[in-house]
Structure 1
Amino acid sequence: MYYSVAQLWKIFGHFEFIYRLIVLSFFFSGLFALFKIYECVLKDSVLAIIFTLLLFTSPVLVYYANNFLMDVPAFSLVLVSMYFFFRFIQSENDKYFYWFVFINVIAGLLKISSLMIFIAVFGLFVLEMFNIKIDSERKIFQKPLKQFALLISVLVIQLILYMYASNYNSIYNGGIFLVGYLPIWDLDFVQIKVTFDAIIEHIKHDYFRRETQIVFGIMFILVLAFYKHINKIVLYIIILLSIGFLLFGTLFFQALKDHDYYTINLFILIPVIFLGFLQLLKNKLYRVYSSIYFRVILIIFLIYNIKFAKDQLVNRYSSVGWQNENYIVNIQPFEDINTYLQSLGIKNDDKVISISDNSINISLYFMNKKGWTNYGINLDSLKIEKAVSLGAKYLFIYGKEVYKEPGIQPFIKNKIGEFKNIDIYSL
């Protein structure tokens, strides 16, 4: 996807809205697929619209649907693949299964954690191979050898890519990108508590309203308690996704402290819980399910959650809040620095070190320069020397506290310029 956006920028110019539009298009396609799932299974367009839009009231999903990470496109593709799986169940047409497999290959290559629904379907396949009856009327997988080969191919393709990526990263980038996991068992008790407290804060502000999450929890409990009244395929998928949810939380516990987007692909559990709950209502409490009052309450509940998502998005983009304080104070000047750099004789292809920037590349991106930030260098003089040997010509410092660090002292002897809060040194 990054390559495709780069080609579009070559044609139309460097406009971020092109990238945002592509990601947003993926997400709306995923929502439409989810709507079609509900409509096909429940035969009720009104409830299909309401519960599809309810997923879109999560501040995390709304925010990243208009941004640049691969989590949302991967999640969106998985929703589309889930539509094809349900069509496969209903029609027994192999072409839908082929689409399910193909789309999960792409989704997994974008983000491996998006394969939770694929693993759940693979789990259904394994259960059927052990003669556990999933569908009361027939077997889901009636061509097991062929379908097993297709399912395995998804995992093999992922394995090949991630082996390649791991090898590539070990050779070229010194561990900048995570190709692994961040498990809970690597932390001590104090670190676990700090991370858990941070997760609680995310739960309060980022995922859904707290009371909405309680409603989701009640739905989940009711589905498990009255499991006889919902489709067994949906029930097994909910159970398998729940196991995957817990495993993911354990394996990537450390990342959940600071990175809300790590949870995006866990959201796949929510629409399946919705589906199970609606099947339960339809089969056990049809008068409630079909009631106009039920729909009015749902619409009010939806609006209530839309208001929450809107307020959280305003906070995220606010110039007053803590989220953007570092950008406004320290990073924003990099957007306007290029003309000044040209006056100093710094060329577009000159490599630089932005040593005050602890992100992977934010300041580099805004000044359109290749080089290094403090991410991976950690103010280490040996690593700075290594960057210089690889072509770094200039050092940028905007955090004055950095000057206290002994690691940078050999590199701040030749100051050539100053732009707003940014000091520039020749290396």
Structure 2
Amino acid sequence: MATKAGQHPQKALTARFVETVKDAGKYFDGHGLFLRVNKSGSKQWVQRLVINGKRTELGLGSPPAIPLSTARQRALENKGMAMMGGDPLAAKRSRTKQMTFTTAVEAYLEKKQSEFRNEKHGKQWRSTLETYAIPALGNKHVSAITVEDVLRVLTPIWAEKTETAKRLRGRIEKVLSWATVSGHRTGTNPAIWQGNLSELLPKPSQIAETTNQPAVAVTEISRWWSALSAREGMAAEGLRLLILTGARSGEIRGMTWDEIEFQTDPVATSATSATWTIPASRMKNRRTHRVPLSSEAITLLQRLPRLNSTNLVFFAPKGGKLSDMSISAVMRRIHEADIKSGGQGFLDPQSKRPAVPHGLRSTFRQWAAEKGYERDMTEIALAHFIGSDVERAYQRSDMFERRKQMMQDWAKFVLISED
């Protein structure tokens, strides 16, 4: 077991010990490396070195951002440099002075670009940081950014734009965490929430209610479908498949013909069933998702034109992917046309805001609940994670065969006005 200051350790630290130790003290490893645990529970790697004849303590970062293996490697490199007459402390100061927050953002985004779900997600990351964080932190060295600096960014929008502020805080934390691991700063990350900003800012749940996307009322869905049926164009067709499948707009707009498998009865002249398999790379949860297509969805797909120049099912006028705004525009026009004809439009029953495409998933979810479909099956249909990590490990089935009938029943309910 590792021992505190003043004692020679019987054996080196372990990753498990570093993760679980809570008692304040200094726990030694080797090459002058020790883990300092403060009374607050925060932890920091420190190395004692003799540099040019002077005993010095050098900070090496904090776990878990800097794991034991990385701390040991840095300690070994520093000891070697000092033994050769070098100055690890001066080298560290030189590195940290070169990295501003703006530079760190650019470097982080370059390294993580492939991990974003899509181009839009990456742009949202950059836009949030450029709008709110960089004006205040951009020219500061990452090594000098404090909790007070982060608060100065978050406080003005914490109450009024809570969801944006939450995302911003997380993004600042990730950039600074990257800067720490890359050797440009040390110490506790000033943007972490638990035990840090959580003590200085009100909980988001206490100052802002979760805002759901406005949905069409279940009782209005067939009337809404009737209005949609009068619309032409690829965006309208995409919106029709969106409601029939419960999919997200991005999943519909990126749909390709090779993702669809049609099954044809030998006696029939057209497909009798079909499966749409969305690859993990296009899913929000990064898991492959199978969608059973109703007979109405199959009919819709089979009447669509195809372009030789693209494999996209729903293509823009010039052959590229439809924009998110094109589908939203169809829904907005349906709402506006209903008002012009003397109706009230299609408003969310709770918020009284005009319904949007993503809200149609909520309409489906409410219908399924009212019809008594089990929660897990409905959540799987919406490609939501269900239960804990342990529960998901045991829940291997995607209930595909049972979801077939549910989606067929849903399509029949939506199209009831056309019967």
Under a length normalisation based on structure 1, what TM-score does the superposition of the two structures give? Answer: 0.26
Which structure is larger by alpha-carbon Rg, 1 or 2? 2
> Which of 1 and 2 has higher RCO (CA within 8 Å, sep 6+)?
1
Q: Where is the strand percentage greater, Structure 1 or Structure 2?
A: 2
Under a length normalisation based on structure 2, what TM-score does the superposition of the two structures give? Answer: 0.27
Q: Where is the helix percentage greater, Structure 1 or Structure 2?
A: 1
